[in-house]
Amino acid sequence: MAEIVTMPKLGFDMAEGTLVRWVILEGEEVKKGAVLAEIETDKATVEVEASTSGTLLRHLVEQGSVVPVNTPIAIIGQPGEEISGLSGQELPAESQPTPQPAQEPSVATPVATSAPEIQEGTLPAGVRATPLARRLAQESGIDIRNVPGSGPLGRIRKEDVEAYLAGQARKPAEEVTIPTQAILPESLALPPFTPGEEKRIPLTKLRAIIGKRMAQSTQTAPHFFVTHEVDVEGLLNIRQEVNQLLTDGEKISVNDFIVRATALALRLFPNLNASIDEEKGEIVQHGAINIGIAVALESGLITVVCKNADQKSVRTIAQEVRTLVNRAREGKVRPEDIEGSTFSISNLGMFDVAQFSAIINPPEAAILAVGSARQQPVVKDNTLQVGWRMNLTLSVDHRISDGAEAAQFLQQLARYLENPLQLLI
């Protein structure tokens, strides 16, 4: 008996998805669990798996089409099986597709037809790099995506990888947290001036959704901000010591420590690990502590989620976050990677940022903005010394919490970060 595959609902608020690419073609055999197609939702590109084994008899939608949730997209059965009665359209959808959002998706790029230009997303690992640069990066155990490219079109070349490695060797302590693709060229010379022309770039789906959610957040959640300066000298030292015991692929970032410390602090401040339910007039304190980590992509920003972070070791957190971030960068996020966060962290430490304030990721109660670890003159034992400091800024929804609670939370967080051994036991 032939089986109909429908457009899956891959997220709570998913109404439709763009079928970006058919992986299994008509007439090809498919095993249960194999990837049938790639689908782009509001948030990410995800893979649709076959629910049964057999032969893919027919595609019911074309590549590039925008398909409402639960709409039949393919038929799997035995070769030669009669499927004329199963065109899909006649089938009652299991549940009514959610009405389409008012705003039309702008990025339904048909892949099957000849694409006029190469898209960045189709580059291996999402970056333009020479094969030699890729190999050197792999051999050196660094992520090619972190290397700024100086070649034509920003292509990463051998000398860029070498320069990056040299820079890394010079200042290991300053390399902080989640790698983000640096885009600033190293050259001192200003690029030649070319008079600008107005350009109109259609919003990508991700860009549009970020805009919508952030506007919603600032309009509905009254934000206030509290900044706390943390002494991170001990943390940087212990991180260096720990990393000497680990291979390149397992190294722990400062951000991983912050994730753990934040999760532990949230245990003591459940009111900041919360959401507001305005309809019922209730504050919902969440049972689990799931930390969302903002990841900068070329196409925008997404938040990957480290679940139950308070119950995980720093090393486990590091490993998980690395996997999540890599999947995000490759555009292969799974729905569970980006769902269920109860508190978010945004870290711009790698960009030499003194401090900044982040917009709360709704419906959460707060978000932590992490600046760079910087060497500074500090007063210690009544003398002026050189120390390492980092600014943490908490943005809080005033409907849920107040300044005193936010300040005490930061004090607790600082206690953990300033006594980093606590984070390791």
Contact set with other proteins (CB under 8 A): 130-135, 151, 157-158
Dihedral-angle region of residue 280 (phi above 0 means left; psi in -120 to 50 means alpha; beta otherwise): alpha
Q: What is the residue whose two structure tokens read 């709409």?
A: 71
CA atoms within 13 A on the CB side of 291: 28
Neighbours of 169 (CB within 10 A): 8
Nearer to other proteins, 130 or 316 (CB): 130
CA angle 327–333–337, rounded 5-degree value: 100
How many CA within 13 A on the CB side of residue 349?
Answer: 29
Q: How far is the CB of 131 from other proteins (least distance, A)?
A: 5
Distance CA 174, CA 236 (A): 9
Q: Which two tokens stand for residue 258?
A: 């912050």
Report DSSP letters for 22-36, one per residue.
Answer: ESSPTT-EE-TTSEE
- Residue length, the chain? 425
Catalytic residue annotation: 398
CB of 165 to other proteins, least distance (A): 15
Say how far apart CA 74 and CA 61 lie, in whole Å: 7
CB 168 to other proteins: min, Å: 20
| DSSP-assigned letters across all residues of 97-133 | PPPPPSSPPS----SSSPPSS--GGGSGGGS-B-HHH
Report, in Å, the least distance between residue 144 CB and other proteins: 13
Give the separation between CA 10 and CA 7, rounded to whole angstroms. 9
| Cα 290 from Cα 190, distance rounded (Å) | 44
Q: Are 73 and 19 in contact (CB under 8 A)?
A: yes
Integer-rounded Cα Rg, in Å, for the chain is 24
Q: Which burial class, exposed, middle or buried, applies to 268 when counting CB atoms under 10 A from its CB (0-12, 13-18, 19+)?
A: exposed
